[in-house]
């Protein structure tokens, strides 16, 4: 099993995308792709945990695969806008840890 930092992930995606003349899609297109991936994740979650089992003709996909697809598109989005995902995550966690520190019942 591989372990990647967000920097590793962003660099690997950039190396992949950089080999094509088209480069990154526009932010609007990437948002549309992200929405597609969220929909595919929702479908998988519904199959495993909801009331809609897969048809026998449907290909087996996994939640893990859909999360990976979402991570790829999210990374493309961040790279296209020159956003460091580690910095974005840090800002978000600091906000959440401050805002919600007394919101939930602690163990």
- Rounded-to-10 torsion of CA 86, 25, 22, 14: 10
pLDDT tier for residue 1 given thresholds of 50, 70 and 90 = confident
Rounded distance between C-alpha atoms, residue 46 and residue 62, angstroms: 11
Mean pLDDT over all residues of the chain? Answer: 93
Q: Which fold, 6-99?
A: Helix Hairpins (1.10.287)
Domain boundaries, the chain: 6-99
Structure token pair of residue 2: 């591989």
Tell me what percent of the residues of the chain surpass a pLDDT of 90. Answer: 77
Rounded distance between C-alpha atoms, residue 95 and residue 23, angstroms: 33
- Rounded-to-10 torsion of CA 79, 83, 89, 94: -170
């Amino acid at each position: 099993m591989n372990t990647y930092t967000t920097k590793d992930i962003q660099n690997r995606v950039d190396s992949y995308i950089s080999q094509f003349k088209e480069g990154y899609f526009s932010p609007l297109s990437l948002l549309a792709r992200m929405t597609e991936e969220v929909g595919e994740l929702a479908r998988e979650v519904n199959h495993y945990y909801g009331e809609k089992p897969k048809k026998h003709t449907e290909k087996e996909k996994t939640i893990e695969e859909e999360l990976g697809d979402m991570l790829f598109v999210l990374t493309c989005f961040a790279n296209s806008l020159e956003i460091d995902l580690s910095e974005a995550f840090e800002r978000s966690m600091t906000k959440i840890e401050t805002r919600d520190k007394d919101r939930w019942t602690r163990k």
